[in-house]
């Protein structure tokens, strides 16, 4: 059967389309099997002081063809500007869709043994109000727990810890930041009987259900890491 001129033109275009589809399918299969490229990740400043560097290091060793572009920030403007593949957040309330809960934490009050020996362990919210409170937080976060303005709000645990070690006041920080120093005996949890709302650590992506392989691999790495921590407790 002979094709008309229009039919031949249509046929040749279809051949090109089919070839492009085959190439796209092969690229997709290759990317799924051998993930590569740049992975843009945004994380809160709090994780600078944690094991996050170990997570990144182990991931890069396991997947050497993936490059990570990491920005520590809580600023919405920066997060929107850079178009991240994965955005890690710590919030009291989870409002976004397409989220992956990684862990939950509590904020506790901590002080040195010397401070507690001198002033006594606070047994109520009223007693806590009598002390200087040093809060680890973003500056825009309202303190609703003790209805009192903290003397210092800072997003650097080292500065807060230094003030605490000098017996200048009581820290109010997430337990994952305190764990290392509590295990070493530097600070003591002095708020076991005082209520604290949970903080949720979670990841969100802009991809809906069609998550690229490199993104899924990093999410899996995060899940495995925090699951192992939970099981060890």
Kindly state the average pLDDT of the residues 92-116. 87
Whether the pTM exceeds 0.95: the reply is no
> Quick one: pLDDT at residue 229?
62
Of 60-64, 116-120, 141-145, 213-217, the poorest mean pLDDT is in 141-145
pLDDT above 70 covers what percent of the chain?
A: 77
Domains of the chain, CATH where assigned = 32-103+200-232 (3.40.190.10), 105-198 (3.40.190.10)
Select the more confidently predicted residue: 219 or 155: 219
CA–CA distance, 35 with 26 (Å, rounded to integer): 13
CB 56 within 8 A of CB 70: yes
Catalogue the E-assigned strands of the chain.
37-43, 66-72, 86-91, 99-111, 133-136, 152-154, 170-174, 188-189, 198-204
The pair of three-digit structure tokens given for residue 226, joined into one six-digit string: 């925090």
8 pLDDT exceeds 70? no
Is residue 165 scored above 60 in pLDDT? Answer: yes
> What would the mean pLDDT of 178-183 be, rounded to a whole number?
88
pLDDT tops 60 at residue 27:
no
């Amino acid at each position: 059967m002979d094709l008309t001129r229009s039919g031949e033109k249509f046929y040749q275009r279809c051949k090109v389309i089919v070839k492009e589809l085959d190439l796209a399918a092969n690229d997709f299969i290759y990317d799924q099997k051998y993930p590569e490229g740049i992975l843009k990740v945004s994380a809160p400043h709090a994780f600078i002081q944690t094991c996050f560097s170990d997570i990144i290091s182990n991931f890069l060793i396991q997947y050497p063809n993936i490059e990570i572009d990491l920005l520590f920030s809580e600023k919405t403007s920066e997060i929107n500007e850079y178009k991240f593949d994965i955005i890690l957040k710590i919030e009291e309330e989870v409002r976004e869709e397409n989220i992956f809960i990684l862990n939950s934490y509590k904020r506790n009050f901590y002080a040195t043994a010397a401070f507690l020996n001198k002033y006594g362990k606070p047994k109520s919210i009223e007693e806590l109000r009598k002390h200087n409170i040093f809060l680890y937080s973003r500056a825009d976060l309202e303190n609703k727990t003790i209805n009192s303005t903290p003397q210092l709000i800072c997003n650097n645990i080292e500065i807060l810890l230094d003030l605490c070690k000098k017996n200048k006041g009581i820290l109010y920080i997430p337990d994952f930041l305190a764990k290392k120093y509590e295990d070493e005996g530097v600070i003591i949890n002095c708020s076991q009987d005082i209520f604290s709302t949970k903080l949720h650590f979670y990841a969100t992506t802009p991809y809906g259900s069609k998550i690229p392989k490199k993104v899924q691999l990093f999410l899996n790495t995060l899940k495995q890491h925090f699951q192992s921590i939970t099981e060890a407790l």
